[in-house]
Amino acid sequence: MQIKGMLSRLFKGQRGAAMTELLVSLPALLLMGLGGLQSALLFDAKTTINYATFEAVRKGAVNHAQSDAMRRELGLRLAPLFGGDGSAEKALSAITR
């Protein structure tokens, strides 16, 4: 009995400690999580731009370096960054916006 009483007195001041620790660490955790999400979005945009330039250069190589065909292909491949879903209609509407 005496040990139980000693332990209860020892941990009596610990109530609410977990909430305080959570409030202290939550901003850092949110910052790291949202930073990770932002870096994933940046990597996705970088990959899309790399693919678009690759396809535009490929179109230029096939069409004897005609800049109009290359620009059209670049716009078509960059359309997903501006709201297109890969279809020609959505790409055209995203390009003309």
pLDDT for residue 83: 74
pTM as predicted: 0.67
Task: Tell whether the model's pLDDT for residue 76 goes beyond 90.
Answer: no
Q: Which of the two residues, 97 and 21, has the higher pLDDT score?
A: 21
CA distance 88 to 4: 74
DSSP 95: H
Query: Could you tell me the residue ranges of all domains in the chain?
Result: 2-96
Residue 93 has pLDDT above 80, yes or no: no
**Confidence at 63, pLDDT banded by 50, 70, 90:** very high
Distance CA 34, CA 8 (A): 40
Q: Out of 2-11, 39-48, 52-61, pick the least confident.
A: 2-11
